[in-house]
Structure 1
Amino acid sequence: MHGKDVVDRPADAAYQWTGMRRHLTLALLCLTALFNIFDRQIMTILLEPIKIEFGASDTEMGLLAGSIFALFYAAASIPLGRLADRHSRRVLIAACLAAWSLMSAFGGVARTFVQLALTRVGVAIGEAGSTPASYAIIADLYPLRHRAKALSFYAAASSIGAGAAVMLGGWLVENFGWRTTLVAVGLPGLVLAALLLWLLKDPPRGLSDPLQAARPDAGHSMLSALRHFWTLRSYRWVLLAPAFCQVTLYGTLIWGPTFMLRVHGLSPSEVGLLFGGVTTIALVLGQLSGGMLADWMGSRDIRGYMRFSAAMAGIGIPAGLLFLFAANTGLAMVGFGLLSLAMAPITMCATVMAQSLVPPRMRATSSTALLLTATTFGVGFAPLFVGLSNDFLQPMLGGEAIRYSLAIVVGFLALSSISALIAAKWVCADYDRLQGETSAAG
């Protein structure tokens, strides 16, 4: 047995990983997730002032907020995911955080639309390396029966970041302008990056899965890992369920504030307080309660994770239509809150499955595949689609065009629900196959 294999074996290091140490590691990862989504979502409240300053169209703003980001996020996520499976995840996360924070701040001094787009490319590349490595660490820290709950805290931190970006961003842009806002939200990430290098520890791979940690798969290539994933009949549907949900999630998160500005006539600070507050409360509540419910259902039958995901996607459809077609702002916010609550656990349930169906040394690569698919559909497709649809419908519907564009993306929740149900059909066989292979290897 090679020395590196011994270091990574959980039996030699498990005693060092007390509950407090695991929770501290999770807390630091959650704080990183908050900064990650904050720097990404800050653009949602800045779309209108940036559009006005540069004279851009809705299609161009959709490219800036979505497709450009998604393209480079996807391209960077593959090599960064491989790095996370082979090298220090602690150093990778800290370096990525420092990179995206600097690029976010540089956006505030951009003088042209192209320069601003290039800074968002830098943000995308930096953010691409953080989440896959974080997912893999969390899966190593917590066994399957507690994994959804642990991931729900990570997801809740992301939701707090999304809501805070709109709330704080709305106040900042109204009082200081969009340029100062980008600088102000970017620089604190450098402090957190230094803190991560000091406090964050990288657990042994497979710490919570001793049998799987013993499997000799350390030398897998990216292609062989993807081929392995493809042999799992449930896996492709596990990826598609959150991907379709992300179309609705990012379509409404990125264009929702603009919808409130155009259709309901609110000011940026009002949108920030109302939309951001509802987003934060609903997503956090949905993720924390969803994590506990998913673990309860999954502990009885592993198919419960994806069945729960399918049910929540179905609930989200009428809630989304209420948000878009309510007669007043208050009722619209009730609909958006219910929509956010329903969507909150869907990606988390898929993440649990994507981590639990593969060996420990493929977990960051598996996270990359999940996030690559979700980002391509959600961040890459949804904002651009809404922008194109707005520009197409505006001559006929005027300011109401955005209402019908968003209604289309809400319909993608039906595809999410169907995908989750198909995944549930095959997940037991794929999970049992992994357990059988690791038992044989042991």
Structure 2
Amino acid sequence: MTGPAERRPMTRGYAWLVFALSFGLLLSDYMSRQVLNAVFPLLKAEWLLSDAQLGTLSGIVALMVGLLTFPLSLLADRWGRVRSLVLAAVVWSLATLGCAVAASYGQMFLGRFMVGVGEAAYGSVGIAVVLSVFPVTMRATLSGAFIAGGAFGSVLGVSIGGVLAELLGWRWTFAVMGLLGLVLAAVYGIVVTERKLTPSGVERGAAPGTGGPVRALLPRLFSSLSVLCAYVGSGLQMFIAMALLAWMPSFLDRYYGLATGKAGLTAGVFALITGIGMVGGGMVSDRLGRRDPHLKWTVAVVCSVGSLILLTFGFQLPPGAPQLILVGFGTLLSNATAGPAAAMVASLTPAAVAATAMATLTLANSLLGLAPGPAVTGLLADRFGLDTALRVIPLAALVAGLAFTLGRRHYDRALRSVSSRPLRTTELST
């Protein structure tokens, strides 16, 4: 990365404008992804779909994100990050408009498939753009806010989607989300350009046409048991969080008798709680980690075990206020591990490949959590009922907690391994 002496000034106002527009596109990303969950009941009734089919429509987006995040992130580094972000936003927005005119499950599946293709690399590339225009000292705060933006976008997608579906029908819900994305993509393309970002000190190796070889980078991303445990633990907690996010509107519709609009708004509150937990988990982890880095692992273990206990007992209760309160606290902890896990990955991989490490974490979150979470819940719901499925899903936190515990145990050895194996110049310049 370029040093301070190599940077030419960028105004603070423009840097925050880049953040605001990038954050706005992130909200559009997750609104387009999660709006489907708000209209599950309507699609199920109109097309006579099974819960497994509904879960697949949600999970296919996350699956494509997981499969394509890494290669598209590398491509964006070479082709140009801003151009890649604008193209991605156009693709997912047009695909969302395609969902609005879908006439069958197959057409909707194709539309959702393309939504996933468009959204695949936005998270990793978007945060790279944001971090390139701010001082290094703000990276933790900005990363936490950017990750939590996904949860806030989910809140808007589920809440606004439910209201629009009730007022205008589910097709207009997709149409509004698609049009919003196209408008934001146009504004972003006009205001943010590679030329304006480059003087701020975009990382060397991150500009178009550069970057180290994959063969040299990959071994450093899986170099210790601890970093593998961080990937696995983060992904399994994401499994729980995404299952809840996808199926909470349907749960409220079936067991609380809420109309589509009200169910979407109420589910949006739970999505908001998830985002608050992500921000809070990162803040607590950073504060405690200043005294003892091992405490970041402890925070992750506590959140995993806490979400397991609260959600398991919560879904055992009959519908009512006590159930919603327990489930709410469980939801708060369900993805509070995101911040600690990202910090662990950052500390266990060389700084020279930090962006690629975050893409790898995104890959783990997608393949272990975002993609299978909604789909597996749908399969279980078809066989045993949605209430039973939601009692089983929290068991993933047991494995996540064990992974974080194992990672903590081997953390010192992993840190020594990273510090004793700096990247060679030939690896960076090849």
Query: What TM-score do the two structures reach when normalised by structure 1?
Result: 0.86
Asked if 1:231 corresponds to 2:223, the answer is yes
Pairing 1:312-327 to 2, within 5 Å after superposition: 312-327=303-318
With 92-101 and 118-127 compared, the bigger mean Cα shift is at 92-101
- 1:406 and 2:398 matched: no
Contact 1:136 1:363 in 2 (8 A): no
Could you say if the C-alpha distance between residues 134 and 297 of structure 1 is closer, same or farther in structure 2, counting changes exceeding 3 Å? Answer: farther
Cα offset, 1:330, TM superposition = 2.5
The answer as to 2:148 corresponding to 1:156 is: yes
SS of the equivalent of 1:345 reads coil
Change over 3 Å in CA distance of 1:145–1:238 after alignment to 2: farther
Cα displacement string for residues 4-59 of structure 1 (whole angstroms, at most 9, x for unaligned residues): xxxx5233444525655544433333222211111111111111211222222111
Contact 2:220 / 2:350 at 8 angstroms: preserved in 1? no
Partner of 1:128: 120
Aligned equivalents of 1:54, 1:181: Cα separation in 2: 17
Q: Work out the CA distance in 2 between the residues paired with 1:205 and 1:435.
A: 31
C-alpha deviations, 1:80-126, integer Å up to 9, x for none?
02123434222212211111011111100011211111010110001
Matches within 5 A, 1:247-266: 247-266=239-258
Give yes or no for contact 1:106–1:119 (8 Å, CA) kept in 2.
Answer: yes
2:360 counterpart of 1:369 = yes
Answering whether residue 94 of structure 2 is matched by residue 89 of structure 1, we say no
Question: Following the alignment from structure 1 to structure 2, what is the Cα–Cα distance between the partners of residues 137 and 276?
Answer: 28
Q: Deviations over 1:45-84 (max 9, x none)?
A: 1112112222221111121111x22332233223202123
1:237-316 equivalences under 5 Å are 237-280=229-272, 282-316=273-307
Which of residues 105, 108, 129 is equivalent to 1:113? 105
- Answering whether residue 48 of structure 2 is matched by residue 55 of structure 1, we say yes
1:187 matched to which residue of 2?
Answer: 179
Structure 2 SS opposite 1:187: helix
What residue number does 1:40 align with? Answer: 33
* Cα deviation digits, residues 308-353 of structure 1 (max 9, x gap): 1221111112221344233343223222321221124312222233
Task: Report the TM-score when normalising by structure 2.
Answer: 0.88
2:78 is equivalent to residue 78 of structure 1: no
Gaps of 5+ in 2: none
Aligned equivalents of 1:295 and 1:17: distance in 2?
Answer: 28
Query: What is the deviation of 1:437?
Result: 4.8
Report the 3-state secondary structure (helix = DSSP H, G, I; strand = E; otherwise coil) of the residue aligned with 1:321.
helix
Determine which of 61, 65, 73 is the counterpart of 2:58: 65
1:345-391, Cα deviation, whole Å (9 max, x unpaired): 31222223334433455333322221122111223222221222122
Q: CA–CA distance in 2 between the matches of 1:146 and 1:99?
A: 31
Taking the aligned partners of 2:120 and 2:279, their CA distance within structure 1 comes to 24
Residue identity matched to 1:406: L
Per the TM alignment, residue 132 of structure 1 is displaced from its structure 2 partner at its CA by 1.3
Tell me the alpha carbon deviations over residues 161-197 of structure 1, each in whole angstroms, 9 at most, x when there is no partner: 1111121111111111111110111111111112222
Q: CA deviation at 1:237?
A: 1.0
CA distance in 1, matches of 2:105, 2:61: 14
CA distance in 1, matches of 2:82, 2:409: 36
Question: Is 2:232–2:400's contact at 8 Å kept on the other side of the alignment?
Answer: yes
Contact 1:13 1:204 in 2 (8 A): no
In terms of mean alpha carbon deviation, does 84-93 or 414-423 score higher?
84-93
- The alignment status of 1:420 with 2:376, answered yes or no, reads no
CA–CA distance in 2 between the matches of 1:142 and 1:432?
A: 30
Aligned to 1:10: 3
Distance 1:370 1:314, change over 3 A: same
Give aligned-pair identity as a percent: 23
Verify: 1:347 aligned to 2:331, yes or no.
no
Give the deviation of 1:440 after TM superposition. 8.1
Q: Is the 8 A contact 2:278 2:338 kept in 1?
A: no
Are the equivalent residues in 2 in contact too, given 1:245–1:313 (CA < 8 A)? yes
Distance in 1, Cα, partners of 2:294 & 2:137: 13
Specify whether residues 219 and 26 from structure 1 end up closer, same or farther in structure 2 by C-alpha distance, changes over 3 A only: closer
Helix, strand or coil for the counterpart of 2:92? helix
Contact kept in structure 2, 1:70 and 1:379, CA below 8 Å: yes
Q: Does 1:25 align with 2:9?
A: no
Asked if structure 2 preserves the Cα contact closer than 8 Å seen for 1:163 and 1:276, the reply is yes
CA distance in 2, matches of 1:14, 1:145: 16
Measured in 1, the distance between the counterparts of 2:121 and 2:205 equals 23
- Whether 1:166 aligns to 2:158 is yes
Name the residue aligned to 1:3.
none
Q: Is the 8 A contact 1:9 1:206 kept in 2?
A: no
- After TM superposition, give the deviation of residue 422 of structure 1 in Å: 2.1
Tell whether the 8 Å contact from 2:144 to 2:339 is kept in structure 1 after alignment: yes
SS at 1:32 equivalent: helix
- Partners of 1:105 and 1:183 within 8 A in 2: yes
After the TM superposition, which of the residue ranges 177-186 and 77-86 deviates more from structure 2? 77-86
CA-to-aligned-CA distance 1:184-227 (integer Å, 9 cap, x gap): 11111111112222333666799699xx999xxx6533343222
Once the two structures are superposed, the pairs formed by residues 190-209 of structure 1 within 5 Å of their partners are 190-200=182-192
Could you tell me which runs of 5 or more consecutive residues in structure 1 were left unpaired when the two chains were aligned.
1-7, 394-400
